[in-house]
Chains A and B, each alone.
Chain A
């Protein structure tokens, strides 16, 4: 029974990883940028939610009403101010730009918030849970996070598949120069992709802060979990990213169950390395090769 519980907790945790990962996947898919600042940007949003909820006496969920649009605006502006210019400088410069941004945000958070740990209170959700058997229980917060992750990833997949904006994103991802020749403003498409990516990162960061305590140094580790979920699931498919997140979560909880809590992260990393070694295109990589 405890094994089943481990798997269930892993699946629920995996939803959060997938939510972290989808913005990373979107930015890479649309403009081939690996955003090394993804984890720090998510953590920045977590701290914004903390500040707003403390100063205005709001619940973190209410603070999201301000922080999510704020993250989208920051993403849009960041794309025009920083990433679009860096894309002209070859393959390495976007990577360096996002790395620099990651360092700056990490240090700024340390400066302002000191290395203390903080947490966000999700109110009654934190303690509510369903006991399915004496050994298996599902916390309400985990269920809400998982549900939100499925909705966000599913919604994004629908947006990409069936809307004019989604078609423009896929066309720009295929060939940005030709996209411009058929009337698509590629830079604007990029900016919208980054806006969406940062909003999803902000949501993931906030859920993360509700689940566990956090401090300003955690950005890079969140980036790594997101990155592992993307790679395990395979690039180019958001459903793959969801499954990748879930597999990572299950590997961590089952590993912890089998070998002890300190083995959780290692087990996830081992799965990641196995996928890299034996199926480097990811488990659900988009199948059709280009041309």
Chain B
């Protein structure tokens, strides 16, 4: 049984249909990279899965429950952890408080997170408002880990970071994944995404247009899907009727 199953999901921003009939499933331990141009609907999809935005149609099954009506905080209790686009730390709380406020029992503790993200240790008592970009991103990921999620949703964690900071962050992410985490990662850097995750999916204008194993897809195939050239080898289309 899948850990997460999204069926025919449709999400709107007012009149704009940002996600159009998206379906996919994640097994326990899967790592899926979601790529796509700006405005393709990736962030909207992740927020809808985490409960930050109510879909207008479709189903989201997590574990064995349909969670579409559950508020975000109850989804966290079931094991959903989102690192939102733009980090959204609590600015008046310290790094340590940002982490501890999300704490739920499980493998990840304050000490564990500080070990996985060594750059945070000297900043424990600093307010989140004064952190550097890399430190903010690490705090946002650590905060999601503190909820001990069964599924970690990461939205553009390397956006706006210096290359060194991205290296550090991905090193830490790799240790998280090696611990058996199930991960759905949105990333602009295709090479990095394909190197980190077993599977890749591409979104174009609200639809999932390509999905496959990182090892079996070439970068050209993904790039073509990314720009909507529609010559990709494995076309998924809207996946309607592909059950």
What is the interface of chain A, defined by CB distance below 8 A to chain B?
Answer: 164, 167-168, 170-171, 173-175, 177-186, 286, 288-291
Contact = CB atoms under 8 A, between A and B. Distances in A.
B102 interface: yes
B100 A164 contact: yes
B147 A178 contact: no
Contact of A291 (B91, B93, B143): B91
Nearest to B87: A178
Given A182-B144, A183-B73, A288-B127, 11 more contacts: A170-B93, A171-B97, A174-B91, A174-B93, A181-B76, A182-B101, A182-B147, A183-B147, A184-B73, A185-B71, A185-B73
A168 B71 CA distance: 17
A183 B102 contact: yes
A170 B129 CA distance: 14
Contacts of B147: 182-183
A147 to B, nearest CB: 30
Contacts of A180: 51-52, 71-73
A171 B127 CA distance: 12
B91 A290 contact: yes
B52 A175 contact: no
B76 A177 contact: no
Nearest to A171: B90
A290 B92 CA distance: 7
A181 B102 CA distance: 9
A186 to B, nearest CB: 7
Interface of B: 50-52, 71-73, 76-77, 82, 84, 88, 90-93, 97-98, 100-104, 127, 129, 143-144, 146-147
Contacts of A288: 92, 127, 129
The binding surface of chain A is classed by DSSP as helix
B73 A175 contact: no
B113 to A, nearest CB: 13
A175 B90 contact: yes
Query: Which one of B52, B92, B103 has the greatest number of beta carbons of chain A within 10 Å?
Result: B92
A183 B93 contact: no
A167 B129 contact: no
A289 B82 CA distance: 26
Query: Which one of A168, A183, A184 has the greatest number of beta carbons of chain B within 10 Å?
Result: A183
Given A288-B92, A291-B91, A291-B129, A182 B76 contact: yes
A195 B236 CA distance: 53
Nearest to A188: B73
